[in-house]
Amino acid sequence: MNKRTCTALASSLVATLALGAAGCSGDTYSTDGRSRGKNPVLANQGAVIGGTPVKGGTLTVLSNQDFTHLDPARNWVMGDMDFGTRLLYRTLVTYRAEPGAAGGRLAPDLAEDLGISSNGARTWTFRLKKGLKYEDGSPITAHDIKYNVERSFSPDLPGGPDYAARYLAGAEGYQGPAQGKHLDSVKVPDDHTITFELRKPFAEFPSATVLPTFAPVPKARDNGPRYDNRPFSSGPYRIETYARDKQLVLVRNPHWDPESDTVRKAYPDRIVVTMGLKGNQIDDRLIASSGADASAVPWGKLRPESIAKVLTETDVRKRLLAESTNCTEMLQMHTGRAPFDQVKVRQAVQFALDREAVLTASGGPAVGDPATALMPGSLFGGKQPDTLKIPLTGDVARAKQRLKEAGHPDGFTTAITVSAGDKGVGEAIQQSLGRAGIKVTIETVDPSAFYDSIGDTGNRTDLVYTGWCPDYPSGSTFLPFVFDGRYIKEKGNSGNHSLFRDRATMNRMDEIAAMTDARQAAKAWQDLDGRILAKAPTAPAVIERMPLLLGTNIAGAFGHTSFGGQIDYATVGLKDPSGSGR
């Protein structure tokens, strides 16, 4: 997943109009780069807060924004996918509701199992559970899943995951089910069987079927763009009211059968999302946690300036989640342009970069970790290996050495583009590269124009600072998006911002993609990660965390590793439903 979604979240948080960005200086304790194990934020790592919830009550979600899309054909933002697939619609397969790395494992959802492949992983068949129903009691059929896959191709319904377009056979030029056109590569032999024919082998196809594209939408309920405001429920809750950017109220779907669902617990009776609140007010309300706010959870990150207030109070600190977002932020270099066409120059940048300083500028060590490899920890079974083997504050002597070898003993001048919210990060990069003689000028771009400007490969700066998040825990959703030269576009380029075109890397990616053994493939991606890093198209910088402060009455809460650290809405509930106020 593109950093777009992460940044959208961050920028709306930072956008406090006039008083605005005092942010990005929230670290209150020093780190020497070695004693990171003591980070108090990580006390709840891998734990479920508040014990097992009691059924009932109203869970309040305090949000600073509206959802981007809740229409399952269009939903491709981490937190929104969590909310949608855990509460409103079920998919063929879903993630287990477990903290830590176990959250990356799959569980059958609408399907009876994780799919059966044939034809060398080119054909995938799923059998649906019997007796599944929508919110009106009508049956969920395999036709409805095919229909939603098809409508995700419609130009009227943009924004959703493109895995179906990427893998389904005969999908080129398909524009959705309008005018009665259908995809022949999705077959529905009976109401409970669905078969996907792919254009190339894809061993991880079941992982892709956790995406909302593979949720059912009955044709009779499809009203195009307006479906976004009222998706029809196949999950444990249905929408009672939804006023965009104001309030969303969910109530129980009486036709959802808990017996058929091993993942969703559906503890609260009602879930009320209040939107458009100010970030600092949400933080204050949750720190105080009085009245109905005790039964509330936040939607967006705790603001950097609130972190000190949380960490200094033991009682408050206990309620803080800080799971990794699993998005790697990188300093990406234009490998097609001098002097960054030289490996030694790029390695010099890797050596010169002070990741501690970047981390401090991006919110402090409490809410992020320095990156030591390209793919985030979730793709290494939990923790990134230290492939870089460079001190976190950089190694200026070796950086200078590499520059000398590359014929730039006195350094050179270059420029970086950063999103307006990342100005401090730009300055940290400027200072750390300056130590090796690389003079960097900073160009700040408004968040709304950031991706357009760095996607213009002809006119952009040599350096850009942006990241990538895997869509599901597999190297195939990370490395090919960021380092496959065949996806580079002259304008509107995304992902591969180092414009890295390396024959050996691309051949290896094709080989791994063709592997039918998922375990073997995972190992191969991890190995390839190191090989790409040695060629230094980017300098990995930090991996941010998702700090979320819970109300005192919240139970069953943990940050889900596969949903960017957002609270798993499948299991969250209340300790005491009678205390939820409403």
Partner 1 sequence: MIRYTLRRLGAVLGVLTAVAAVTFTIFYVLPSDPAAAACGKACSAERLAAIRAHMGLDQPLWRQFWDFVSGIFTGRTVGSGQYALHCRFPCLGYSYENSEAVWDLLTDRLPVSASLAVGAAVLWLTLGLSAGTVAALRRGTLTDRVLMVGAVGAASLPVYFTAMMLIYGVVRVAGLLPYPQYVPFGDDPGRWASNLLLPWLALAVLYAAMYSRQSRSSMIETMAEPYIRTARAKGLPRRTVVVKHGLRAGMTPVLTLFGMDLGGLLAGAVITESIFGLPGVGRLFYGALSAGDQPVILGVTLLAAAFIVVANLAVDLLYAVVDPRVRL
Binding site for partner 1 (CB under 8 A): 1-2, 4, 11-12, 15, 17-19, 66, 76, 154-160, 162, 165, 173, 175-179, 223-226, 228-229, 243-246, 274-278, 281, 284-285, 447-449, 452, 481, 487, 489, 492, 494-495
Contact 183, 198 (CB under 8 A): no
Smallest gap from residue 248 Cβ to partner 1 (A): 12
Q: Are 475 and 519 in contact (CB under 8 A)?
A: no
CB of 520 to partner 1, least distance (A): 26
* Cβ closest to partner 1, residue 213 vs residue 571: 213
Cis peptide before 339 (omega within 30 of 0): yes
Among residues 7 and 414, whose Cβ is nearest to partner 1? 7
CA atoms of 1 and 144, how far apart (whole Å): 26
CB 186 within 8 A of CB 168: yes
Instruction: Return d(Cα 522, Cα 565) in angstroms, integer.
Output: 22
- DSSP bridge partners of 186: 196
d(CA 216, CA 144): 5
Tokens at 465, concatenated: 């600072």
3-state SS record for 66-93: CCCCCCCCCCCCHHHHHHHHHHHCCCCE
Smallest gap from residue 19 Cβ to partner 1 (A): 6
Q: Smallest Cα–Cα separation from 1: which of 333, 382, 326? A: 326
CB of 403 to partner 1, least distance (A): 34
Cα–Cα distance measured from residue 168 to residue 161, given in angstroms and rounded to the nearest whole number = 13
* Choice between 254 and 291, CB closer to partner 1: 291
DSSP 549-566: EPPTTEESB-B-GGGTT-
Least separation in angstroms between residue 372's CB and partner 1 is 26
Tokens encoding 447: 């968040």
Which residues on adjacent β-strands are paired with residue 497? none
User: Please, which residue, 382 or 455, has the CB nearer to partner 1?
Assistant: 455
Min dist CB 466 to partner 1, Å, is 11
Question: 193-197 and 368-370 as β-strands: parallel, antiparallel, unpaired?
Answer: unpaired
The answer to whether the beta carbons of residues 308 and 94 sit under 8 Å apart is: no
- Least separation, in Å, of the C-beta of 175 and partner 1? 6
- Residue whose CB is less far from partner 1, 226 or 519: 226
Q: Which is nearer to partner 1, 244 or 531 (CB)?
A: 244
Min separation Cβ 421 and partner 1, Å: 11
Question: Residue 226 in 3-state DSSP?
Answer: helix
Rank residues 12 and 401 by Cβ distance to partner 1 and give the closer one.
Answer: 12
CB closer to partner 1 out of 224 and 254: 224
- Cβ proximity to partner 1: between 127 and 143 the closer is 143
Distance separating the N- and C-terminal Cα atoms of the chain: 38
Q: How far is the CB of 176 from partner 1 (least distance, A)?
A: 8
Residue 314 makes CB contacts below 8 A (sequence gap 6+) with none
